[in-house]
Amino acid sequence: MSLPVRSLTVLQNWDCQGCTSCCRQYHVSVSAEERKRIEGQGWEAEPDLQGVPFFIHTGGWLSSSYRLNHRPDGACVFLGPDNRCRIHVKHGSAAKPLACRIYPYSLVPAGDHWKLGLRFACPSAVEDKGRPLAEHLAEAREYAAMLEGEAGTSAITIPPPLLQGKQQINWGDLGRIIATISEMFADDIESIERRWRKVLFVVSTLRQAKFDGGGDPQKAIVGSRLSELLEILKDAAEDEVPESPDDVPPPSWVGRMVFRPVAALYARKDTGPDRGSAQSSAFARLFSAMQFARGKGRVPRTHIAIPETTFDAAEKPLDELSDEAESLLARWARVKIESGQFCGPTNFGMLVWDGLESLAVAFAAAMWLTRVLATDGRPQDDAVRMAVRIVDDNFGFNPLLGKGRQKFALGLLGKRGELPKLVAWYGKTKAGFTAEDTEDAE
Ligand code: SF4
């Protein structure tokens, strides 16, 4: 019997608004069985599909992988003139490829159940439009059963991700940690920037803990003892973490140099109509990577939404964030954390602490990108929404972020204490900006 799917405590709404962005932006892989099914649906009889290849072979001569073809205007060949999926209209949702059906849900195995999360690359998720996620559980259960069927296994056999090294706790204790961190993000009296620094303080302190009590079960930090520790750390963060981002030193030049190429990976789009001109060829990508490493002159257009602007302009802080922007940034963090999407199989096998820190870097990258997007007069709330969509599209999905080099960069930022500095620097707004900051940025 397939495992149940559980929703999150954070209120997140979603329903498809029919924007068709996903049918234009993504290359959808299809299995041999899906290809056969679609080939048997009689599409060659449709006048405007005659002679149009439905699939593209991917992955070189030896590969047997295929994806759905796209029209010259960038849309999937099956997207009709009325902006509706022809497969869905003619044969129902179940006839579509599984990837199309599941998007933008993310289903994350969590021991004896699945967690239902959401990809904020979808505009409807960012705008919180539709019914609460909890009302989508029946549909999600169907997809979870299909994923289990495809994998030939049950999620119950998957152990919880390690905290770090070989440190393992059980699903219940991991749930305690996740619940505490999500609660910290729910504190909307605090700026999202400081909430992130407080969470980083808790994570860096928990990195020192010996959860197995150094082999002595009496000293093991589990169950209610772990809950107590988490409460103590939450209170300690209130005292230990500077109130103002101005009281946090700016990131060092090493921190910025390591951060910029990571931000570049979060700010890119390589397929579909939103692909940036800096991603058009291998040479353009190499040139853009060099510019990001240098951090001088024009910001390469790694995504079509990036305006003509400079790296210097992106060092200038934003106006104070609106309640709407703060609330979106907190909801984004909570959905990623509560769903477990920040670590394990849905984030390139990252361990728990590394995964949380990678999400902090994604937050800093989103704030950097918001500054870039707002330089051409785009309203700030709109820039925040767009930045979250672009960054989340890459978070856990851009395979370059899962490479050893990127994991090493993340480890370096953590070890050198650069993460809270990056969060404070890119998360601060004009309210907390001083003349010395301008000098520090130069
Ligand atoms: S098959 Fe349908 S749902 Fe999937 S990308 Fe194409 S048009 Fe969109």
* Residue 46 forms part of a structural domain: no
Q: Residues 151, 166: one domain?
A: no
Domain holding 107, by residue range, is: 5-38+53-157
Question: 304-316 pLDDT, tens per residue?
Answer: 999 999 999 988 8
Is residue 26 domain-shared with residue 164, that is, in the same domain?
no
Which residue's entry shows tokens 């759905």? 68
For the stretch 104-151, pLDDT in tens is 999 998 988 999 999 999 999 999 999 999 999 999 999 998 888 887
Q: What is the pLDDT of residues 9-59, one digit of tens each?
A: 999 999 999 999 999 999 999 999 999 999 999 998 988 898 899 999 998
Does residue 115 sit in the same domain as residue 251? no
233 and 181 within one domain: yes
| Same domain as 196, residue 132 | no
Which residues are CB-neighbours of 208 under 8 A, at least 6 positions away?
A: none
Last residue within a domain, chosen from 157, 174, 209: 157
Residues 111 and 240 grouped into a single domain? no
More confident residue, 283 or 369: 369
Residues 6 or more apart whose CB falls under 8 angstroms from that of 267 comprise 302, 303, 306, 365, 368, 369, 372, 390, 391, 394
Summarised one tens digit per residue, pLDDT across range 56-80 is 999 888 888 999 999 988 899 999 9
Instruction: Give domain status of residue 47, yes or no.
Output: no
Residue 315 belongs to a domain: yes
Q: What is the mean pLDDT of residues 331-358?
A: 97
Q: Are residues 191 and 326 in the same domain?
A: yes
C-alpha 403/C-alpha 408 separation (Å) is 9
Q: Does some domain include residue 164? A: yes
Overall pTM > 0.85? yes
Looking at the fold, whether 139 and 170 belong to one and the same domain comes out as no
pLDDT band at 442 (very low <50, low <70, confident <90, very high): very low
Residues in contact with ligand 1 by the CB-under-6-Å rule are 23, 28, 68, 76, 78-79, 85, 87, 96-97, 100
Return the residue whose CA atom lies nearest to atom 5 of ligand 1.
23
Asked whether residue 99 falls in the same domain as residue 209, the answer is no
Residue 329 lies in a domain: yes
- Among residues 157, 186, 215, the one where a domain terminates is 157
Are residues 206 and 292 both part of a single domain?
A: yes
For residue 72, the CA-to-ligand 1 centroid distance in Å is 15
pLDDT in tens, 345-380: 999 999 999 999 999 999 999 999 999 999 999 999
pLDDT digits (tens, 9 = 90+) for 405-429: 999 999 999 999 999 999 999 999 9
Pick the last residue of a domain from 157, 186, 216: 157
The end-to-end CA distance of the chain, in Å, is 60
Average pLDDT, the chain: 92
Tell me the pLDDT tens digit for each residue of 185-204.
999 899 999 999 999 999 99
- CA-based R_g, the chain, Å: 22
Q: Based on the domain organization, do 166 and 143 belong to the same domain?
A: no
79 and 180 inside one domain: no
Which of 76, 86, 89, 93, when mutated, tests ligand 1's pocket best, judged by the most ligand atoms within 8 Å of its CB? 76
Count structural domains, the chain.
2
**Does residue 48 fall inside a structural domain?**
no
